[in-house]
Each structure stands twice: as C-alpha cells, then as structure tokens.
Structure 1
Amino acid sequence: IWQAGGHPYKTDGTAVKIDFTDEGTQKYTATWQKLLDEKLLAPVSSWSDAWYKGLADGSIATLSIGAWMPA
C-alpha cells in the first residue's frame, strides 16, 4: 500500500482511524484485485497444506511478503 502512495491508517492519540479510500490505497487494491480476477494469485494461507501443495506442484512459485520476513 505504501509503495502505491497509500496511507490508510491515521492516529490521534490512542485512537486509530482506518480509511481505505485514499488514492494510493485504491491503486493498490485495484492491482491486487486484477491479479485475483485473472487467477494469477493463489488465495491460500502461507504455510498451509494448500500452500505447500502449490509449491510442490508448481502452481505457486513465490511468496509476496515484507522485507522483515527473513528476520
């Protein structure tokens, strides 16, 4: 979301506001929705049986995750 210029979270003291309508967040969601619609993503949970099966049969080739994952 941040790479697309989105800023869906705002804080005010201890209150958090979530708003997915800003331009960058909409750009992000439109991109991911297109990938889902074209069946270019496998909507399965990481490290699930379905995920491991997809890795084994070649239907899943990668994992999109933040840079903190390898830590």
Structure 2
Amino acid sequence: MAWISHLVTSELGWIFREQPTVDVGIDAHLEVVDSAASTATGQLLASGFHEVVCPRLDHEREKCS
C-alpha cells in the first residue's frame, strides 16, 4: 500500500487516503488534484488492492496469472 501511496502522491500529485477499516472492499480513495490551480477537484477513485481475481464462466473465482 505504501508503494501505491507514493506513486499517487509523487508521480500524479493526487491525494491518497487509505481506508483503515478491515473488510472486503475499498482499501483507499484517490482524489484528483488540478495541478494548475493546486486544488482538489472532488473527483474520487476508489479501489481495493488485495488480489486480482479473474471472472470465470462457471462463476467461481480464481487468481489471475
């Protein structure tokens, strides 16, 4: 998670907010920053970082390779 936080803040200049709740779901919010105006835009991205799972036709789950 620290690596992703570093990339978001250093490379994109966006705001990274880790969600400390332990559950299955959203692990962090990313907020887009308008670099020209140096203000947050209010546009959010939410994501989970646990494991990437590929869908299958039989509706079972498996890790993507």
Q: TM-score range by the shorter chain?
A: under 0.3
Higher fraction of helix: 1
Query: If the length of structure 1 is used for normalisation, what is the TM-score?
Result: 0.23
Higher fraction of strand: 2
Query: If the length of structure 2 is used for normalisation, what is the TM-score?
Result: 0.24
Larger Rg: 1
